Structure 1
Amino acid sequence: MRPETVLITGCSSGIGRATAEAFLDDGWTVYATARDTDDIADLGEREDCRINALDVTDDSDVRNVVNRMLRQDDRIDCLVNNAGYAQFAPTEELETEELEQQFEVNVYGPHRLTKAVLPHMREAGEGTVVNLSSVAGRISMPGGGAYSGSKFALEAMTDALRWEVEGHGIDAVLVEPGPVETKFTERANEEADGRERTGAYDWFWSLFEDSDTLAGGGPGAIQPDVVADCILDAANLTDPPARMPVGTGAGLLVKARFLPDSLVDAAIRFARNRLA
């Protein structure tokens, strides 16, 4: 029997790279993608790994990689929508164009890929779509409206998808990491450093600069390979759960969404007053 095939987006570093390596170690044929193939050239040296240029915002890139999978392996068993980024800023200091780009990558990108692979999974009568969400897809914090908004949207779309494709033998799974030690944090910090500030939300920026937790690092952060193992489990399980939180931090933060809004508001108010 030929190895199962998986298409993974955003493999240049962090969770995406660790996921590609985990699937390769498990015997899958991996289509590892990144916007710049130089970033994943070393993955291409591994047997059963095909590297591809893929910008998830580009329809032609999506068509090219899916067509290559069908031409070379004639099957698409799993899609891992990992590519994404975060930007943090108070709503007033966030440009509408920046919000559009956040959704372009984090929401419309996964939609493009999912739409492209589903006809082939339906024809085969099986397949798995794994969408990388976050605890930020379950609870929103100050300055995180754009990122959480994109992840909330991804969660809603994946819930709908799960019910839509169940009758075709296809699974749709949300993997929800808490803080992870990746370059994700670096990009979030770079986005913040170049931002024009009004001066009205200095308390937020003090909190942001004092705590990497807001941007994905800090105490309790897990390593990318822990998330990768969870993604691999989602692909291998016959009946995977709808949601798979990863890490102790994820479990605790997800539970916070069940607290009364008044308690959460009081905690945020305390932090704001302390830093104001």
Structure 2
Amino acid sequence: MNKTILITGTSSGIGKATAIYFQQKGWNVIATMRSPEKDTELKELENVLLEKLDVLDLESINQAIQNGIEKFGKIDALVNNAGYGAYGPLESFPRENIIKQFNTNVIGLMDVTKAIIPHFRANKDGVIVNISSIGGQMTFALGSLYHGTKFAVEGISESLHYEMKEIGVKVKIVEPGMIATDFGGRSFDFQAGEIADYQPIIGALMKQWQNPDNSSSAASLVADVIYTAVSDDSEQLRYRAGDDANFLLDSRKKMTDNEFFSMMNNQMGK
């Protein structure tokens, strides 16, 4: 009997690549997104159930899980991938954008996880993979909102792994580096604002992000790491994805705060 995975945020990027990867590995896939009617690729794949799921809508979360169980009998793994990045000076962000960032990346992730735990507990089996980022262990300028959510995901996941172990469920964290997705497009909320004091650091960061030397990894690389995290049956908690993830996270651990900040400022030309 094929195993089944539920993945949030599969309309593009890491989520879509992961849905395709697991389907190719012989898994049943519950591919969820806010607007499944817009999908043109996943719905054509065998053993893929396309479901509407908005992490801000509890009813859609519960319905997608129920439909997945009815279709495939059991869900073996969950990948919490849905999310987006909010960047810019904190002073420039409207409060509603701040709330939306945390509701989507943190509260939504917890709501999906909480909804599926009873199913996992009944089976005394399951794997929860939370997609964090190198930004859950270190920060870039202007990312107080995004990094705040990813640091939260790291803490939630690390603590959750203790209680989930009591019911036979594993918790994993995947930390991608820079990935070639549409994160800088529709999955990106940038608020530059008009306050002159912040414009130099905004310009420096934009220049750094547009540097052609900043090579991004393919989303399929992250999908491969997610597959390893789900399948390796180990107690390992964190998994990195991308050469830049290894370099930056190793540097963050080895350096003092001032040394790391100096390196990051140098990279931005500041």
Task: Provide closer, same or farther for how the CA distance between residues 139 and 206 of structure 1 changes in structure 2, counting only shifts above 3 A.
Answer: same
2:199 matched to which residue of 1?
202
**Greater displacement, 39-48 / 52-61:** 39-48
Which residue among 259, 263, 266 is the counterpart of 2:262? 266
1:20 matched to which residue of 2?
19
Contact 2:77–2:127 (Cα < 8 Å) also in 1 = yes
Q: Aligned AA for 1:187?
A: R
- Kindly report which structure 2 residues correspond to 1:138-217, keeping only aligned pairs within 5 A, or say none: 138-187=137-186, 191-192=189-190, 195-212=192-209
**Greater displacement, 261-270 / 106-115:** 261-270
Matched, 1:34 2:30: no
State the SS of the aligned residue for 2:129: strand
Report the RMSD for the aligned CA atoms in angstroms. 1.9
Q: Which runs of 5+ in 1 are unaligned?
A: none
Rounded Cα–Cα distance in structure 1 between residues aligned with 2:231 and 2:176: 19
Q: TM-score when scaled to structure 2?
A: 0.93
Q: Aligned AA for 1:249?
A: D
- Kindly report which structure 2 residues correspond to 1:81-100, keeping only aligned pairs within 5 A, or say none: 81-100=80-99
Q: Aligned AA for 1:62?
A: I
Q: Deviations over 1:138-176 (max 9, x none)?
A: 001220110000000000000011111112111100000
Contact 2:120–2:169 (Cα < 8 Å) also in 1 = yes
Moved segments of 4+, more than 3 Å: 265-272
Task: Provide closer, same or farther for how the CA distance between residues 128 and 247 of structure 1 changes in structure 2, counting only shifts above 3 A.
Answer: same
Q: CA deviation at 1:6?
A: 0.6
Q: Aligned AA for 1:91?
A: L
Rounded Cα–Cα distance in structure 1 between residues aligned with 2:20 and 2:237: 24
Q: Deviations over 1:158-208 (max 9, x none)?
A: 00111111121111000000000000122366x32x643211111121123
State the SS of the aligned residue for 1:168: coil
- Kindly report which structure 2 residues correspond to 1:49-68, keeping only aligned pairs within 5 A, or say none: 49-68=48-67
Matched, 1:78 2:77: yes
State the SS of the aligned residue for 1:239: coil
Identity of paired residues, percent? Answer: 32
Task: Provide closer, same or farther for how the CA distance between residues 182 and 271 of structure 1 changes in structure 2, counting only shifts above 3 A.
Answer: closer
Q: Deviations over 1:212-245 (max 9, x none)?
A: 279xx96231000000011111111111510001
Which residue among 238, 243, 247 is the counterpart of 2:242? 247
Contact 1:234–1:240 (Cα < 8 Å) also in 2 = no
Contact 2:89–2:192 (Cα < 8 Å) also in 1 = no
Rounded Cα–Cα distance in structure 2 between residues aligned with 1:86 and 1:65: 25
Q: Which runs of 5+ in 2 are unaligned?
A: none
Contact 2:141–2:205 (Cα < 8 Å) also in 1 = no
Rounded Cα–Cα distance in structure 2 between residues aligned with 1:98 and 1:128: 31
Rounded Cα–Cα distance in structure 1 between residues aligned with 2:235 and 2:259: 33
Rounded Cα–Cα distance in structure 1 between residues aligned with 2:61 and 2:218: 29
Contact 1:43–1:49 (Cα < 8 Å) also in 2 = yes
Which residue among 226, 233, 241 is the counterpart of 1:238? 233
Rounded Cα–Cα distance in structure 2 between residues aligned with 1:41 and 1:52: 14
Contact 2:86–2:145 (Cα < 8 Å) also in 1 = yes
Rounded Cα–Cα distance in structure 2 between residues aligned with 1:188 and 1:125: 35
Contact 1:34–1:54 (Cα < 8 Å) also in 2 = yes
2:108 matched to which residue of 1?
109
1:256 matched to which residue of 2?
251
Q: CA deviation at 1:60?
A: 0.5
Q: Aligned AA for 1:47?
A: E
Q: Aligned AA for 2:245?
A: A
